[in-house]
Structures are given as structure tokens and as C-alpha cells.
Amino acid sequence: MIIYGIIGAAVGAAAGFFIGKYFSKIGGFCPILCKPKVSTLFFAVIGFLIGYK
């Protein structure tokens, strides 16, 4: 159902934002995890796909 996909995207985006925020302080090299804008979008898509199942 689409509502679960939207909830999954919101949860994924929140998790991705915090992961990107804290990994950027560590100074890692992965652009997906170290940039908050990229990680927020990436985890929102992953959350949507998991929730939409």
C-alpha cells in the first residue's frame, strides 16, 4: 500500500539525515553516507521500497 511506502520514506529520510550528519563529522569517504543531502534521499528511497512491499 502506498501509505506504508510514504511512512517508510519518512522514517528512512529521518534515519538517513542523522546518519549523514554524524558520519560527516567522522570524516569518512563514502559520499552516500557522509553527505546529509545525499544520504537523506538515498535512505528515503530505500525506506519507500521496503515500506511499499
pTM of the model: 0.86
> What pLDDT score was predicted for residue 25?
75
pLDDT at 42 (0 to 100)? 95
* Side chain identity, residue 38: V
pLDDT at position 1: 83
What pLDDT, on a 0 to 100 scale, did the predictor assign at position 31?
A: 79
How far the first Cα of the chain sits from its last, in Å, is 8
pLDDT tens digits, 20-49 = 888 877 766 787 888 889 999 999 999 999
Number of domains in the chain: 1
The burial of 20, by beta-carbon neighbours within 10 Å (0-12 exposed, 13-18 middle, 19 or more buried), is given as buried
